[in-house]
Structures are given as C-alpha cells and as structure tokens.
Amino acid sequence: METIVKEKFTELFDQQPDGVFAAPGRVNLIGEHTDYNDGFVLPAAINFSTWIAASKRDDNIIKAIALDELDDQQQPTQTEFEINSDLAKDPKAPWSDYLRGVVIELLAKDFNLCGANLVIQGNVPRGAGLSSSASLETALVLTLTQLSQENIDGITAAKVGQAAENNFAGCQCGIMDQMVSSLGKKDNAVLLDCRSLETELIPIPSDSSLIVVNSNVKRGLVDSEYNTRRQQCEQAAAHFNADSLRDVSLKQLQSERDNMDEVVYRRALHVITENQRTLDATEALKNNNFSELSRLMFESHESMKNDFEITVKPIDDLVEIIRKVIGEQGGVRMTGGGFGGCIVTLVPQELKEKVLTAVNSEYNKISGYEPTIFVCEANNGAFTL
C-alpha cells in the first residue's frame, strides 16, 4: 500500500512526496460503549491502515485526493481549502470532514501548519466497526505535524482526532479508537482507562489467532443510534448525580431500577457490567485462560444484544456459528459501535481453519450476506515507535 500511494502521488502531483505516513485501524476485544463513559476498553491496533503520501506547499493551501472515494465518473474525489480560512463542509467530498476537523483542532492547540498536497488510501474496511475514521484522523495528525516540523505526542494526537470527529464530523465517539491507532503495540492488546488515559500492554498469546469477520451489514455511526446511546448513558449518570457511569456501582444501579426509565436502566446496566467484564477479561488473557475469556466475551455480546440493543441478526448468527466451533476454547463477540459491522474472535491456532470453514459454509445460507474474513495481527500505532 505504501508503494501504491507513493506512486500515485508522483503521478498526480508530478513530484516525489516528502514522506509517506500511516496509522492503523483497530479491533476491540471487549469493552463496548464504555469509552465515552470513562470506562475500560481492551483494543488492539491491527495490520490494516490508512496511508498518506504528502509534500509541503509554499502557500497555506491543503489539497487532498482520496483514492478510495470515487465520483460519478469513478475518479478519485479531491478537496482544497486554505488553512486559516473559515472551514465549511465540502458536500462533494464528505470524507474531508475528518481532514478539516483535524486542521481546526490542531490550529486550536497552536500548532503551526504548512500547506500540503496529500494523497490518501487505506485498506481498513469502512463501515465495519474497525475504526477507519480514527485511522484516517490519526494518519492526518501525523502527516500534518511531521510536514510542519511540529512535535506532538500520541495522547495529544488522539485527543485531536477525537475532537475532530466530535466537533466537525458530528459523531460523539469516545477516545478509544484514536488512542489505540496512535499507541497500539505489536503483538499486544492495550488496556485503556478512558478517564486517566493510562494504558497497560497485554500480550496476546502467540499460539492464538485473532480473526475478524465482516458481516457486510453496513453501518454509519453518525446516522445510527450511536449518539442516542450516549445521551441515554448521560441520562443514567445524571440520575445518580455522577460525572459518568464509571462512578456508579452495580449495586447503586440495581437499587434505583424502579425509579428509572427501563431503557435507560438497561443501557447503564450494560456499561457498568461491561467495565467489570473488561477488567476480568484482561486478567483471563494474562493467564491464558481461554475458558474464562470465552464466557466474558459471550456475556459481552449478550449484553450488547439485550441491554444495549446494538446488534443485528446477521451479527448474532455469526457469533453462534463460531461459538458452535470453539465452545469454551476461545472468545467471540460483536466488535465496534454496532448496528452491523464485524465480530471478533480470539481462538487457539489449531481452531483457526475450523472457524474459517464454518463461517464460509454457513453464514451466507443463514443471512444472505457474504462474509469477509480478516486474519489479523496486533500492530504498532502511528506514534508507538
């Protein structure tokens, strides 16, 4: 991918790029919708990334071409704007919301940015729950600061990416995706405390296989009920006069059940129990305890299905297909914001082929969708090295 985007840059701008920069997508092993509730998550950066070939300009113009975003003539779409102007959305290039948002947030933090020519391409599946948007945001932060010879650390980069998505793109995501895209580590998952932003590297057993299956049920976080779920969580926290659900215990929640809206109660129940499951799953992974990990990941899926109500039938079907194969020897659950997208499974290497065979032979018959399977590796983040 690096070679392709570099060659395309040379073709489109008739010059060599000053550099090629990349940031990975991520898969979340457990800890769903806990990040914006100041909770715990356990993601890993993966070996699918957004790549940007770039060169400095002598003016304040940013011109960007997205090779994966095609117009009606099947040509790559592009956008152009002046850095210090009042930036408005470009309806012909919706993907550029992330670019404009990143520029706005970097300027707000007093980074001095130069003009730039950019060619962007990625292989993170979009709309699948593997965080293609955070991959793009993180790659853009890295690219623009490197070109401008501005120093930025991984945590600040993650905050910039999150703010760009919250404030300009319009999705009220938490900081998990940007943090792991910035600071993931090869062969490790990352236990992230989304309140303190403290991280702990959790080795993924070398004899295990990390498999992601895209249900190919497309989803869009901004247009889905993602923001509604966040509002419901905030409503639940407010019931307890708490800053977030991180500060509410399961016992407290249960004692107030009769005084809360039933839907809001179940949303809070998912988040509070998911936080504990994430901590317990971390210990299970440390101890190579796959039976415990299996139980916790399945409980997470059931909670997302029944309490948070963010799964769809094809996703549930995929989980059941894989559970029949792995039993208690591995974990499987939906991953991502919900309403489609992917499932993640972590299994011993000897079960990998059985999982792939089962998905390929059964999923389409049940759902009508064709699966796309990714055998992943935990990878470094953009700011790790």
Alpha-carbon torsion, ordered 229, 231, 235, 237, to 10 deg:
80
Q: 46: closest CA among 282, 277, 283, 204?
A: 204
| Catalytic site includes residue 177 | yes
Amino acid letter, 353: E
In the set 177, 307, 316, 317, the catalytic residue is 177
CB 124 within 8 A of CB 6: no
Q: Which residues are catalytic?
A: 177
